[in-house]
């Protein structure tokens, strides 16, 4: 028994990296499977369900208000999720996955990069923001990170997403940050950018 409710699809193309799919608030372990198959066909898909419930909606960590995080819980949950990734890698025989996270899922993936960089080989962070005000300096050399933000996102201020991009690249990650003319929801352009990013 692994420590998170999850879905797993084995790889059909062994040259593709495994994906760790992390849903947004109110999503679940099935939400991003279709997205994963589209952006990296043939990748193994590992998709856990967040353990926090906010009015019945699954999430990956607690928040005090929209955009205001319980940072102690962010740390605890990022470590717990990194432990799950290690368990799942042993159980399924996987390399370190690339995280693909949307919104709350992108935020926990960003926290994992900062706290447990060994857990991920890279990350696509869709509508992410800075998850921790005083993150430890991680060594992200060799890790690729794609961040896609919405210029009109009411939840993630553009300045905040830029700070996240700057902090990850200062830690050595190879960051591509795209600001799209859209809001918090994903657009066709997000998909195209991810397909291109994964094919490199
Ligand atoms: C969060 O709580 O992680 C952010 O506010 C994004 C969201 O899930 O709405």
Q: Is 78 part of any domain?
A: yes
- Ligand 1 pocket mutation, candidates 28, 129, 130, 155, criterion most atoms within 8 A of CB: 155
Please say if 184 is a catalytic residue: yes
- How buried is 176 (Cβ within 10 angstroms: 0-12 exposed, 13-18 middle, 19+ buried)? middle
Please say if 177 is a catalytic residue: no
131 CA from centroid of ligand 1 (Å) = 10
What pLDDT is recorded for position 137? Answer: 86
Residue 90: CB atoms within 10 A of its CB come to 10
Please say if 139 is a catalytic residue: no
What's the whole-number average pLDDT of the chain?
97
Q: Is 151 part of any domain?
A: yes
- DSSP H/E element including 97: none
Q: Evaluate if residue 1 carries a pLDDT over 90.
A: no
Does 150 sit in the ligand 1 pocket, CB within 6 Å?
no
- Alpha carbons 189 and 197: distance in angstroms, whole number: 12
- Alpha carbons 111 and 90: distance in angstroms, whole number: 22
Q: Which atom of ligand 1 is nearest to the CA of 106?
A: 3
Residue 39 sits in which domain range? 6-198
Does 105 sit in the ligand 1 pocket, CB within 6 Å?
no
Domain count, the chain: 1
The pLDDT confidence band at residue 67, using thresholds 50, 70 and 90, is confident
Q: Is 193 part of any domain?
A: yes
Mean pLDDT of 176-188: 98
Q: Is 46 part of any domain?
A: yes
- CATH number where 23 lies: 3.40.50.1820
Q: Is 1 part of any domain?
A: no
Map tokens 């990956």 to a residue: 60
- Of 103, 149, 167, 171, which is the active-site residue? 103
Q: Is 68 part of any domain?
A: yes
Q: Is 192 part of any domain?
A: yes
- Ligand 1 pocket mutation, candidates 66, 77, 78, 149, criterion most atoms within 8 A of CB: 66
What pLDDT is recorded for position 178? Answer: 98
104 CA from centroid of ligand 1 (Å) = 4
């Amino acid at each position: 028994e692994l420590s998170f409710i999850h879905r797993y699809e084995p790889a059909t193309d062994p040259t593709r990296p495994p994906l760790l799919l992390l849903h947004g608030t109110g999503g679940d372990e099935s939400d991003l499977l279709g997205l994963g198959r589209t952006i990296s066909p043939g990748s193994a898909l590992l998709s856990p369900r967040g353990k926090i419930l906010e009015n019945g909606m699954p999430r990956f960590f607690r928040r005090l208000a929209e955009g205001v995080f319980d940072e102690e819980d962010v740390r605890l949950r990022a470590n717990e999720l990194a432990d799950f990734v290690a368990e799942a890698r042993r159980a399924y025989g996987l390399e370190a996955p690339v995280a693909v996270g949307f919104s709350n899922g992108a935020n926990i993936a960003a926290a994992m990069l900062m706290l447990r960089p060994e857990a991920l080989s890279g990350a696509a962070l869709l509508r992410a923001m800075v998850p921790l005000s005083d993150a430890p300096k991680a060594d992200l050399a060799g890790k690729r990170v794609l961040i896609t933000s919405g210029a009109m996102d009411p939840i993630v201020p553009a300045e905040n997403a830029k700070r996240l991009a700057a902090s990850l690249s200062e830690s050595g990650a190879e960051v591509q940050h795209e600001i799209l003319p859209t809001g918090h929801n994903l657009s066709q352009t997000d998909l195209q950018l991810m397909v291109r990013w994964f094919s490199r």
